[in-house]
A and B are shown apart, each in its own frame.
Chain A
Amino acid sequence: MPTVSRVAVCGGTHGNELAGIYLVREMLKKRADGTEPVSVVTVMSNPRAAQLCVRYVETDLNRCFTRAALSAPVSETSPYEMIRSQELNALLGPKASAQAVDLLCDLHNTTANTGLCLITYSDRDWICLHICKHLQREMASTPVRYVHFDIPLNEAYSLDSVGKHGFAMEIGPQPHGVVRSVIFSAMQEGVQLMMDWICQFNSGTLFEGGWVDVYTMVKNIDYPRDSETHVITAAVHPNLQDRDFCLLHPGDPMFLCFSGETLRYRGKEALYPFFINEGAYYEKGVALSLARKRRVQIPSVL
């Protein structure tokens, strides 16, 4: 396998997800002295949103990286984030070309109790899978999981799809607009361990094969809503709240209606819920996502 020689670490893709923003600011303070074994470019993806401490200014930047969005004609009157995604694609990509960075790590936070997740579009990218295994081995107090969205590269919409290899490093729970020191430290450690793995890999270290549990997204579930006003009529059930990655069985409580009624999971298959009650997803019509888990064998690499 070729070396991972160019890495990008991006924060502030959503301007109110503060751990990544503060981490990128700290990394930008440390000037590169040319002796680093790996070239790392550190980027504040959405500086205007970060300045205002909002998720986005006009449209969600992390949905602007499909092939269609990246090749759409833009002008001064285009939404800020559409212009910015093309700038980032020129800087770190172009997506799907030989010039793209080898690995793009995009830093995110969620209000859901997800622990640390590496979220990516491939379930057979050995570099991403090995990095996940490395973090799982080395991070004692943070659960680390691999989450897979089965979407072809053209339609992959997030910033991490710009790199030849890439993932979002998502850590929760943290409210938007807040930095919790435990979350910041976990993110700092995650990024450091990723860099350590890359350096070892580049210098020919053998990483043993093994297996990784991969959670592949199956579907989203919206809140129950009033048929006329579309206003939500229930909250995530207390039995489900904060139980990301705990198996949800048919018949388990999912929502507690304001009227007092409990709504239960009606699917036939037990699945793994995640992104349970993410604040930014109310407007996207998502109360939680559901995933299937399977064990993926990974080869040894050097």
Chain B
Amino acid sequence: MSSRTNVSCLHEAKRVAIFGGTHGNEMSGITLVNMWKQNSAEIERNGLLIKPFISNPKAVKKCTRYIDTDLNRAFTPENLSAPDVEGLLYEVQRAKEINRMFGPKGSSDAYDVIFDLHNTTSNMGSTLILESSTDLFNLQMVHYIKKAMAPHTCSVLLNEHPQLKYSTTRSVAKHPIGLEVGPQPQGVLRSNVFESMRTILKHALDFIEFFNSGVEFPPCTVDVFRVQERMDYPRDTNGNITAMVHPHLQDCDWEPLNRGDPMFLTFDGRTILYEGANTVYPTFINEAAYYEKQQAFTTTCREILSANAIRKAFK
């Protein structure tokens, strides 16, 4: 069978946005976007409209994650269709505005690609976050980025879980990609983290430019970590945390956690072990913003996704 028949022809990706400050204290994206708004030379590519954009300016001004509610959970159908009335939460208003500017979500007018730039206090290194296992454009882009960044590792997190998936800022676009780089404390700019994120974006934009120019990308596979479950901290009857992430688990994002491995250490020195039947790969271990979301870490399982060859559809 000719390989030609297995090439998926996709629309050109003409309109691309780069979002920083979806969380106002995650400094790499905020700094990059502000820099590129002032001088866009570094991100310009032939034939591409690229818009750097600060998604939550009020939160950025206060250097806080959000004002009223987490913008990165606010793009639900209910919020996006809420009538324009007084008293709407700031981030809900903002979500509607962003949906008008870069969407509408789910329509053919929506932006082709949105990169949403995030940092984490977890030791996740450079992570690319996907919301779909069947978006060929995204799978090929992620494959390209990983190869270009090597030997620097880029992990790929897939959150397609029907209950745990959430309505992200980037979900307004046809092809949403999350960039999550850590570890970095909130409100802090670390040079190595900043430069990693900058380089990932450079490769991503190169990929889009190549794709738009007609380059065909052969079939590929992508190793991903698929979100399974959220694990909360042990708490007392008043809801207070009674233990911390165990020193053996702290900073071990993407490493196997087996039954019987230490998981938490109580404040009075007792170890709590992981009791799950299967080996899991934890991530988002001890993320500051997730204490209030009842999440000490997220478990994932390893999977290999396949993508067809792709090229731009001829007009």
Partner of A182 from the list B186, B188, B250 (CB cut-off 8 Å) is B250
Residues 198-221 of chain A, each 1 if its beta carbon lies under 8 Å from chain B, else 0:
000000000000000000000000
8 Å CB contacts to B: which residues of A131-180? Answer: 173, 175-180
Docked CA distance A147–B268 (Å): 30
8 Å CB contacts to B: which residues of A246-283? Answer: 256, 258, 277, 279-280, 282-283
B47 close to A (CB within 8 Å): no
Partner of A280 from the list B187, B189, B190 (CB cut-off 8 Å) is B187
Q: When the two chains form their complex, are residues B187 and A176 in contact, meaning their CB atoms are under 8 A apart?
A: yes
Most buried by B among A177, A179, A180, A283: A177
8 Å CB contacts to A: which residues of B19-41? Answer: 31, 34-35
Q: When the two chains form their complex, are residues B185 and A184 in contact, meaning their CB atoms are under 8 A apart?
A: no
One of A35-43, A84-92, A115-123, A230-238 contacting the partner: A230-238
Partner of A258 from the list B35, B63, B245, B291 (CB cut-off 8 Å) is B35
List the count of A-B residue pairs having beta carbons below 8 Å apart: 81
Closest B-chain residue to A179, C-beta based? Answer: B244
B214 close to A (CB within 8 Å): no
8 Å CB contacts to A: which residues of B273-315? Answer: 286-289, 291-292
8 Å CB contacts to A: which residues of B213-245? Answer: 240-241, 244-245
Docked CA distance A239–B291 (Å): 32
Residues of A contacting B287 in the complex (Cβ-Cβ under 8 angstroms): 178
Q: When the two chains form their complex, are residues B288 and A177 in contact, meaning their CB atoms are under 8 A apart?
A: yes
A76 close to B (CB within 8 Å): no
Docked CA distance A232–B35 (Å): 10
Residues of B contacting A277 in the complex (Cβ-Cβ under 8 angstroms): 188-190
B192 close to A (CB within 8 Å): yes
A26 close to B (CB within 8 Å): yes
Q: When the two chains form their complex, are residues B289 and A177 in contact, meaning their CB atoms are under 8 A apart?
A: yes
Partner of B186 from the list A181, A235, A256, A279 (CB cut-off 8 Å) is A279
Interface of B, secondary structure class, is loop
Residues of A contacting B260 in the complex (Cβ-Cβ under 8 angstroms): none
Q: When the two chains form their complex, are residues B187 and A279 in contact, meaning their CB atoms are under 8 A apart?
A: yes
Q: When the two chains form their complex, are residues B267 and A180 in contact, meaning their CB atoms are under 8 A apart?
A: no
Nearest CB of chain B from residue A266's CB, rounded to whole Å: 19
Q: When the two chains form their complex, are residues B191 and A256 in contact, meaning their CB atoms are under 8 A apart?
A: yes
Q: When the two chains form their complex, are residues B192 and A241 in contact, meaning their CB atoms are under 8 A apart?
A: yes
Residues of B contacting A256 in the complex (Cβ-Cβ under 8 angstroms): 191
B76 close to A (CB within 8 Å): no
Closest A-chain residue to B62, C-beta based? Answer: A54
Given contacts A235-B189, A235-B194, A238-B191, contact A176 B288 (CB under 8 A): yes
Interface of A, secondary structure class, is loop
Residues of A contacting B63 in the complex (Cβ-Cβ under 8 angstroms): 282-283
Q: When the two chains form their complex, are residues B190 and A232 in contact, meaning their CB atoms are under 8 A apart?
A: no
8 Å CB contacts to B: which residues of A1-45? Answer: 22, 25-26
Query: How many positions in chain B have a CB within 8 Å of any CB in the partner chain?
Result: 33
Q: When the two chains form their complex, are residues A241 and B190 in contact, meaning their CB atoms are under 8 A apart?
A: yes
Q: When the two chains form their complex, are residues B186 and A176 in contact, meaning their CB atoms are under 8 A apart?
A: yes
B8 close to A (CB within 8 Å): no
How many residues of A sit at the interface, in one of the four size bands?
20 to 34
B246 close to A (CB within 8 Å): yes
Closest A-chain residue to B288, C-beta based? Answer: A177
Q: When the two chains form their complex, are residues A180 and B185 in contact, meaning their CB atoms are under 8 A apart?
A: no
Residues 61-84 of chain A, each 1 if its beta carbon lies under 8 Å from chain B, else 0:
000000000000000000000000
Residues 176-192 of chain B, each 1 if its beta carbon lies under 8 Å from chain A, else 0:
00000001111111111
Q: When the two chains form their complex, are residues A180 and B191 in contact, meaning their CB atoms are under 8 A apart?
A: no
Q: When the two chains form their complex, are residues A175 and B186 in contact, meaning their CB atoms are under 8 A apart?
A: yes
Residues of B contacting A241 in the complex (Cβ-Cβ under 8 angstroms): 190-192
Q: When the two chains form their complex, are residues A177 and B191 in contact, meaning their CB atoms are under 8 A apart?
A: no
Docked CA distance A25–B236 (Å): 13
Q: When the two chains form their complex, are residues A175 and B244 in contact, meaning their CB atoms are under 8 A apart?
A: no
Most buried by A among B64, B194, B244, B287: B244
Q: When the two chains form their complex, are residues A180 and B286 in contact, meaning their CB atoms are under 8 A apart?
A: yes
Residues of B contacting A54 in the complex (Cβ-Cβ under 8 angstroms): 64
Given contacts A178-B121, A180-B250, contact A282 B35 (CB under 8 A): no
Residues of A contacting B34 in the complex (Cβ-Cβ under 8 angstroms): 231
B252 close to A (CB within 8 Å): no
Residues 50-66 of chain A, each 1 if its beta carbon lies under 8 Å from chain B, else 0:
00011000000000000
Partner of A175 from the list B240, B246, B265, B288 (CB cut-off 8 Å) is B288
Q: When the two chains form their complex, are residues B291 and A177 in contact, meaning their CB atoms are under 8 A apart?
A: yes
Beyond A177-B288, A178-B185, 4 extra complex contacts between A and B, CB < 8 Å: A173-B185, A236-B190, A238-B192, A279-B187
Interface residues of chain A, those whose CB is within 8 Å of chain B, are 22, 25-26, 53-54, 111, 173, 175-182, 184, 231-232, 235-238, 241, 256, 258, 277, 279-280, 282-283
Interface residues of chain B, those whose CB is within 8 Å of chain A, are 31, 34-35, 63-64, 121, 183-192, 194, 240-241, 244-247, 250, 265, 267-268, 286-289, 291-292
5 cross-chain CB contacts under 8 A: A26-B267, A176-B187, A235-B189, A241-B190, A241-B191
